Amino acid sequence: MKILLAVDGGSHSRRAVKYVTSNWRLFEGRAALTLLHVDPPLMTRVARALGREEVQRYHADNAKASLKHARAALRRARIACTEQCLVGDPGTTISQTASAGRYAMVVMGSHGHGAFGNLLLGSVVTKVLHGCKVPVLIVR
């Protein structure tokens, strides 16, 4: 069973990591975990002004910072994982990665805005729920 744990470094993402580490015994020996960080692309104008190398460094730094807590928590819990860092629309990219990688489940945190808040804010979770063909576990 392959599990995709989507993280952005925020407090809601940390709750998802905590859920996985606390409940890993349910999957142990039968699951492979992948940490996924998706960084939204910079606006075209900004990316052109910075140049390719600086944009790549920017995204690499964001990914490193976003994965730091998750890496440490998983290491403490002795849970092995692989990592993927991608650039794109987070909701769409998480869904596409789950399908392309044949993951059995996506785990991610949610801000818990509710339906009206998601309508206004365009939640990443909402996009994943609508675009994903595999089960999605939302941790609040």
- Residue 65's SS3 state is helix
- What's the start-to-end Cα distance of the chain, in Å? 23
Tens digits of residue pLDDT in 76-89: 999 999 999 999 99
**Residue with the two structure tokens 């996985």:** 20
Q: Would you say residue 29 has pLDDT above 80?
A: no
pLDDT at 112: 58
CA atoms of 58 and 23, how far apart (whole Å): 33
Confirm if 124 and 90 have CB atoms less than 8 A apart: yes
Q: How does the average pLDDT of the chain come out, rounded?
A: 91
pTM of the model: 0.89
Task: Write down the CATH superfamily of domain 2-139.
Answer: HUPs (3.40.50.620)
Confirm if 106 and 6 have CB atoms less than 8 A apart: yes
**Residue with the two structure tokens 């365009």:** 122
